[in-house]
Amino acid sequence: MMKKSKVFLSAIALASAALVSSQASAVEIINTSTLELVDNFAEADGFFKGGQKGDTFVDNYNFTLTQAGEFAAGVLSITGNAKNGLDITAFNLIDSTGSLFGGTLLSTGATDQWSLSTSSLSAGAYTIQIKGSILSNAAGRYSANIALAPVPEPETYAMMLAGLGLLGFTARRRNKKAAAAALAA
């Protein structure tokens, strides 16, 4: 009797395991890479081969800013229709403390487009994070562009103000000479 119970319980366990393994479970694909800003610009792209329908992904692109600036980035995925390719679900900028700047969804469907910008990004380490899901068994791709417009250093402003002051002084001196010459004539 005990032997039959063990066989029965083993059969139930095997059947349960087979049932669980037959159900498709989504895989989360996580990629991390480093971006180098060249002339304050960088590009990134993600490519997903076919046969990954239902999987999700998180792509992290790390980069370092050596000076403060205005930051702008965008990500775009284009497919033939809303049921193919990728669905970009989040576009974020994360600083070294873990603070998150969320992107803005501009369009979704056959074209997924996000933008992200901030006017005062300080020097430091950052991560651009792109999250999404793979909608079909067809291959999918996205492209991202990152741009930085550096904020001039305080010394640059000081030099500019000194130059403007020198121009003003020179113009005033010329006006005085011109007025003196006009009086003498």
Query: Does residue 71 belong to any structural domain of this protein?
Result: yes
| CA trace torsion 152, 39, 143, 151 (10° rounding) | 0
pLDDT tens track for 31-67: 899 988 888 899 999 999 889 999 999 999 999 988 8
Amino acid at 107: S
Record the pTM: 0.69
DSSP state of 151: P
Task: Looking at the structure, tell me whether residues 166 and 102 fall in a common domain.
Answer: no
Say which CATH number the domain at 85 has: 2.60.120.380
Residue 170: which pLDDT band, with cuts at 50, 70 and 90? confident
pLDDT tens per residue across span 107-165: 999 999 999 998 888 999 999 999 999 999 988 899 999 998 887 656 655 666 777 66
Q: Is residue 141 domain-shared with residue 65, that is, in the same domain? A: yes
Residue 15: is its pLDDT beyond 60? Answer: no
Domain that residue 163 falls in: 153-185
